[in-house]
């Protein structure tokens, strides 16, 4: 684990390996403290590799118990084994030879949750990115594809269930109460897709008949007694399988597809071939324990992992620099799936909010990197919002530029041309060049350049000439180690909205390529001239968020209010109102810092009421529009010299102002949306609950009665958790939340996923006391420093969703944070490093907090023996 040699991996250093491993035969003799792994590797020298090439296999903390070459025990002088590698300086000269490697593991002691470990008494694995080398010595790199046969042996009582990738081949009894199963996966795959699960679990079974008529057995494995909570995931899985057939012509390819839910997991889920392993948070749901957000998350993650079967598994990555090739593309596919299953408009707004909340600060801070990075020290730290979410936006732009039909043609060619390959971003772009004859080299900069591009747009209208001019200027800000940027191809969707709210047909255009409602910005400056424009239109720009950029545009409040009422593009309509709110909050927070009371216009509060009451709009859209920009959103807009207390106060003041101005309207709407007693997780029902709970939040700014009532009467977790959040966040100081929190705890004491919500709600209670509150939560008997979900719900929530507490001016929040990061790091470097990114925006804080945050980072940096994961984040954050 402590193997940080400060080594940097560079994209340009990629070389194919000298050896391949066409076949891998694994035997596991499972036991918690000494599992024996016997790996029989068929090793093949590559055609063009020199005969004297040494064979060097990767390891990570391994203990070699035995080594044979072509069946003969290897002499001590024939190899060098360390925990981190196994070298054979002079391998046999034959083209193919057999290596038999025996290692011994202690899964029960594996707290890093990479490689083979135990969760709740079950065995499971996590091998992406470099966890397979914690199981056996191997060429642990994604361009080495192998056909796996896996034999698992275990105690039948302890582990009646034995699963691995591919199709089941054989099973039977052994002596001493043990048994075995053999699995064979016919599809060559990289080691990061290997998986094994063994234990005692309940199952939900189903079937799926593919488009070509093959029957696939589906299984979702969960803790005994939780089977009914897997029904929604199973439904989402079948819908995902159908969708990929209908949308991309992609069928499933094995006889079985299994999903296992585990409660100790570093990330969301993992797409191991035929055996997906999930954080149980993304499998288990029912009306009593899951919110609408949880249901939507399950649908998205089930789809994401399933879609990886083609984008990631059948076509994998040449090296880890190409991570976005599978992740960005697969996120794009799961986004589109959810958009088709739910409301496209609402989904798009939610996506953009997430992108801005996570990717924008990453791209604008010390950890900025291109969608396809060129160097890394620790690959685990590159499973980022930039690779995933911005990576998805880049694929979306390809579709926007090409149109849906040519995009599909390109995807068809990608699947046809690269099935079975370990591919690159260049391969991906090439298929779209080939189906269109276009040159995408300027567009490719989206993969290569970090930073959020900005477009400055100035509009002028000439009434006499009936002409509208747009001056557009692009700039890409400098990012770490990339000070000079090249000009990008930015597809800017737009509309000109007339007085009647209809789009004006912009007859003649010159100055830039404008096609199908998109301005293709490619140069530093463009002047676009629209002629025959009879009245000054309102400008609707970056419709549907066609490009992941920031926009600087002089627009009057009236023009934005007009767009908020009339824009035919739902995203832009939401955006127009949201930017009015953000402006008001920025002005308000400056007023507060200047010692003044913030003031908000009745136009703004009135518009909030008009949107809330507009029956032409979906309830879910109205709820999103009424959600004030978050504290972190305002901080990002302000850019520097951030005082989180002032932002918080401004936000509270605006909530109260909107609530006061619309009191009777909100009261009426709240009652109107309160009907209906049967719960359904569908998007329309969820949207009604979202609107109602947004209204409840406003109505509760001064009076907790309604929230207390809803908490007591709720028949579903969405309403219960929303009411509890309001009570805890708005009324905790007055002692009006204690009873509800105690009641919730008593009810869900033995349900870890629900208890996570209880921890989360409290870790987010704003104000200076939250440092002590979080320390107390960490002393709660149910707190566990080794469970990632629990850690994220307490310390993760505190550092990302509690701006006033975490950024307490005396630095108390940062100290608690640093202590905890170090404690977690001893067990699980990956989780601690992810957590540590919570300080990445320290430079935008006001000077007093900035100094304290830096001290906390320096304390982390000064710690001897930091893991590669944490050291990488801390050093880049400070650089």
Residues serving a catalytic function are 305
**Which residues, 329 to 388, sit near Zn ion by CB under 5 A?**
330
Nearest distance in Å: CB 194, ligand TRP: 13
Handedness of CA 555, 561, 564, 567 (dihedral sign): negative
Do the beta carbons of residue 489 and residue 523 sit within 8 Å?
no
Q: Which of Zn ion, ligand TRP, none does residue 126 bind (CB under 5 to 8 Å by kind)?
A: ligand TRP
Between residues 264 and 305, which has the closer beta carbon with respect to ligand TRP? 305
Q: Which stretch binds ligand TRP (CB under 6 A): 200-208, 266-274, 686-694, 741-749?
A: 266-274
Q: Which of Zn ion, ligand TRP, none does residue 267 bind (CB under 5 to 8 Å by kind)?
A: ligand TRP
Task: Give, in order, the Cα–Cα distances in Å from 656 to each of 57, 598, 629, 709, 730.
Answer: 63, 11, 15, 20, 12
271 binds ligand TRP (CB under 6 A): yes
Given candidates 144, 270, 387, 423, which one binds ligand TRP under the rule CB under 6 A?
A: 270
Instruction: Give dist(CA 676, CA 668) in Å, integer.
Output: 16
Between residues 126 and 330, which has the closer beta carbon with respect to Zn ion? 330
Nearest distance in Å: CB 270, ligand TRP: 4
DSSP per-residue string spanning 816-877 = HHHHHHHHHHTT-HHHHHHHHGGGTTGGGB-HHHHHHHHHHHHHHHHSTT--HHHHHHHHHH
Instruction: Give dist(CA 40, CA 234) in Å, integer.
Output: 36
Given candidates 305, 363, 825, 872, which one binds ligand TRP under the rule CB under 6 A?
A: 305
Q: Which of Zn ion, ligand TRP, none does residue 393 bind (CB under 5 to 8 Å by kind)?
A: none
Between residues 290 and 833, which has the closer beta carbon with respect to ligand TRP? 833
Q: Which residue is nearest to ligand TRP (CB)?
A: 267
Nearest distance in Å: CB 746, ligand TRP: 34
Task: Give, in order, the Cα–Cα distances in Å from 878 to each of 139, 838, 858, 867.
Answer: 34, 13, 8, 17
Between residues 301 and 724, which has the closer beta carbon with respect to Zn ion? 301
Nearest distance in Å: CB 308, Zn ion: 6
- Using DSSP, state whether 541 is helix, strand or coil: strand
Q: How many residues bind Zn ion (CB under 5 A)?
A: 2
Q: Which of Zn ion, ligand TRP, none does residue 128 bind (CB under 5 to 8 Å by kind)?
A: ligand TRP
Between residues 337 and 383, which has the closer beta carbon with respect to ligand TRP? 383
Nearest distance in Å: CB 390, ligand TRP: 15
Given candidates 128, 294, 351, 633, which one binds ligand TRP under the rule CB under 6 A?
A: 128
Q: Where are the alpha helices (DSSP H) in 509-569?
A: 557-566
**Which residues, 316 to 335, sit near ligand TRP by CB under 6 A?**
327
Q: Which of Zn ion, ligand TRP, none does residue 383 bind (CB under 5 to 8 Å by kind)?
A: ligand TRP
Q: How many residues bind ligand TRP (CB under 6 A)?
A: 13
How many CB atoms neighbour CB 499 within 10 A? 12
Angle, CA of 128, 134 and 139, to the nearest 5°: 70
Do the beta carbons of residue 66 and residue 164 sit within 8 Å?
no
* 648-651: long-range contacts, CB 8 A cutoff, minimum separation 24: 648/766, 648/803, 648/804, 649/589, 649/592, 649/598, 650/585, 650/588, 650/589, 650/591, 650/592, 650/598, 651/585
Q: Which of ligand TRP, Zn ion, none does residue 270 bind (CB under 5 to 8 Å by kind)?
A: ligand TRP
* 629-633: long-range contacts, CB 8 A cutoff, minimum separation 24: 629/578, 629/581, 629/582, 629/585, 630/357, 631/803, 631/804, 632/357, 632/361, 632/800, 632/803, 633/356, 633/357, 633/582
Given candidates 266, 311, 479, 575, which one binds ligand TRP under the rule CB under 6 A?
A: 266
Nearest distance in Å: CB 110, ligand TRP: 14
Between residues 310 and 432, which has the closer beta carbon with respect to ligand TRP? 310
Smallest CA-to-CA distance from 579 within 353, 351, 346, 364 is with 353
Q: Which of Zn ion, ligand TRP, none does residue 380 bind (CB under 5 to 8 Å by kind)?
A: ligand TRP
**Which residues, 289 to 328, sit near Zn ion by CB under 5 A?**
327
Given candidates 126, 263, 341, 710, which one binds ligand TRP under the rule CB under 6 A?
A: 126
Do the beta carbons of residue 617 and residue 688 sit within 8 Å?
no
Between residues 153 and 327, which has the closer beta carbon with respect to Zn ion? 327
Between residues 312 and 805, which has the closer beta carbon with respect to ligand TRP? 312
Between residues 387 and 626, which has the closer beta carbon with respect to Zn ion? 387
Tokens 């685990």 map to which residue? 380
Nearest distance in Å: CB 129, ligand TRP: 5
**Which residues, 344 to 383, sit near ligand TRP by CB under 6 A?**
380, 383
Contacts of 384 (CB under 8 A, 6+ apart): 359, 362, 367, 369
Instruction: Give dist(CA 851, CA 842) in Å, integer.
Output: 9
Q: Which stretch binds ligand TRP (CB under 6 A): 170-178, 264-272, 809-817, 832-840?
A: 264-272
Contacts of 141 (CB under 8 A, 6+ apart): 17, 58, 190, 191, 319
Contact positions vs Zn ion (CB under 5 A): 327, 330
- Interacting residues toward ligand TRP by CB under 6 A: 126, 128-129, 266-267, 269-271, 304-305, 327, 380, 383
């Amino acid at each position: 684990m402590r193997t940080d040699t400060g080594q940097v991996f560079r994209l340009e250093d990629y070389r194919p390996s000298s050896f391949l491993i066409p076949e891998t035969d694994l035997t596991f003799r499972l036991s918690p403290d000494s599992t024996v792994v016997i790996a029989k590797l068929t090793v093949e020298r590559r055609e063009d590799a020199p005969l004297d090439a040494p064979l060097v296999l990767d390891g990570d903390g391994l203990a070699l118990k035995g080594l044979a070459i072509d069946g003969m025990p290897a002499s001590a002088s024939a190899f060098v084994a360390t925990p981190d590698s196994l070298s054979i300086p002079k391998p046999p000269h034959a083209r193919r030879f057999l290596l038999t490697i025996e290692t011994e593991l202690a899964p029960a002691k594996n707290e890093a949750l990479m490689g083979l470990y135990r969760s709740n008494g079950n065995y499971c694995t996590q091998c992406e990115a470099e966890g397979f080398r914690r199981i056996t010595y191997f060429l642990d790199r994604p361009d080495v594809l192998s056909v796996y046969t896996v034999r698992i042996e275990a105690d039948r009582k302890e582990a009646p269930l034995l699963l691995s990738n591919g199709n089941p081949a054989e099973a039977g009894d052994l002596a001493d109460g043990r048994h075995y199963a053999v699995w064979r996966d016919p599809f060559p795959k990289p080691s990061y897709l290997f998986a094994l699960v063994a234990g005692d679990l309940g199952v939900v079974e189903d079937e799926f008949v593919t488009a070509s008529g093959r029957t696939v057995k589906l299984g979702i494995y969960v803790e005994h007694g939780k089977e009914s909570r897997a029904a929604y995931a199973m439904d989402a899985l079948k819908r995902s399988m159908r969708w990929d057939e209908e949308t991309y012509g992609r069928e499933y390819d094995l006889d079985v597809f299994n999903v296992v839910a585990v409660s100790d997991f570093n990330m969301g889920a993992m797409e191991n071939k035929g055996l997906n392993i999930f954080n149980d948070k993304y499998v288990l749901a029912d009306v009593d324990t899951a919110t609408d957000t949880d249901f939507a998350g399950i649908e998205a993650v089930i789809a994401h992992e399933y879609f990886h079967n083609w984008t990631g598994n059948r076509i994998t990555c040449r090296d880890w620099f190409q991570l976005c090739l599978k992740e960005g593309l697969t996120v794009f596919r799961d986004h589109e799936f959810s958009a088709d299953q739910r409301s496209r408009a609402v989904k798009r707004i939610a996506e953009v909010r997430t992108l801005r909340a996570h990717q924008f600060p990453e791209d604008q801070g010390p950890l900025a990197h291109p969608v396809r990075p060129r160097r890394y020290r620790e690959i685990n730290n590159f499973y980022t919002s930039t690779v995933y979410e911005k990576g998805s936006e880049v694929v979306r732009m390809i579709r926007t530029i090409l149109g849906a039909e040519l995009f599909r043609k390109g995807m068809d060619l990608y699947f046809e041309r690269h099935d079975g390959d370990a591919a690159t971003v260049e391969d991906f772009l090439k298929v779209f060049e080939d189906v269109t004859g276009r040159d995408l080299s300027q567009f490719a900069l989206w993969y290569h350049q970090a930073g959020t591009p900005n477009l400055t747009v100035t509009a002028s209208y000439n009434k006499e000439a009936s002409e509208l001019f747009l001056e557009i200027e692009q700039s890409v800000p400098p990012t770490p180690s990339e000070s000079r940027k090249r000009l990008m191809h930015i597809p800017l969707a737009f509309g000109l909205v007339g007085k009647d709210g209809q789009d004006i047909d912009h007859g003649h255009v010159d100055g830039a390529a404008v096609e199908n409602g998109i301005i293709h910005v490619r140069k530093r400056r463009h002047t676009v001239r629209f002629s025959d424009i009879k009245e000054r239109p309102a400008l609707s720009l970056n419709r549907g968020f066609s490009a992941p950029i920031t926009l600087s545009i002089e627009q009057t409040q009236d023009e934005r209010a007009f767009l908020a009422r009339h824009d035919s593009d739902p995203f832009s309509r939401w955006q127009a109102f949201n930017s009015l709110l953000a402006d008001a909050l920025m002005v308000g927070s400056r007023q507060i810092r200047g010692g003044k009371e913030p003031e908000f216009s009745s136009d703004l509060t009135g518009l909030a009421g008009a949107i809330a009451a507009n029956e032409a709009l979906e309830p879910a859209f109205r709820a999103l529009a009424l959600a004030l920009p978050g504290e972190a959103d305002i901080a990002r807009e302000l850019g520097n010299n951030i005082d989180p207390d002032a932002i918080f106060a401004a936000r509270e003041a605006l909530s109260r102002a909107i609530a006061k101005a619309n009191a009777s309207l909100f009261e009426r709407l709240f009652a109107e949306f309160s009907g209906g007693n049967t719960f359904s997780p569908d998007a329309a029902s969820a949207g009604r609950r979202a609107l109602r709970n947004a209204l409840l939040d406003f109505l509760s700014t001064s009076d907790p009665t309604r929230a207390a009532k809803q908490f007591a009467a709720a028949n579903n977790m969405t309403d219960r958790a929303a009411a509890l959040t309001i009570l805890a966040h708005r009324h905790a100081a007055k002692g009006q939340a204690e009873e509800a929190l105690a009641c919730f705890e008593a009810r869900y004491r033995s349900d870890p996923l629900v208890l996570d919500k209880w921890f989360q709600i409290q870790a987010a209670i704003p104000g200076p006391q939250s440092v002590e509150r979080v320390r107390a939560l960490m002393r709660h008997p149910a707190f566990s420093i080794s469970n990632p979900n629990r850690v994220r719900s307490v310390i993760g929530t505190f550092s990302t969703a509690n701006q006033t507490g975490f950024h307490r001016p005396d630095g108390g929040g940062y100290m608690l944070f640093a202590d905890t990061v170090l404690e977690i790091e001893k067990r699980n470097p990956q989780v601690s490093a992810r957590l540590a990114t919570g300080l990445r925006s320290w430079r935008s804080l006001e000077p007093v907090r900035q100094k304290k945050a830096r001290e906390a980072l320096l304390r982390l940096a000064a710690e001897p023996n930091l893991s590669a994961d944490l050291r990488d984040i801390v050093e880049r954050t400070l650089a």
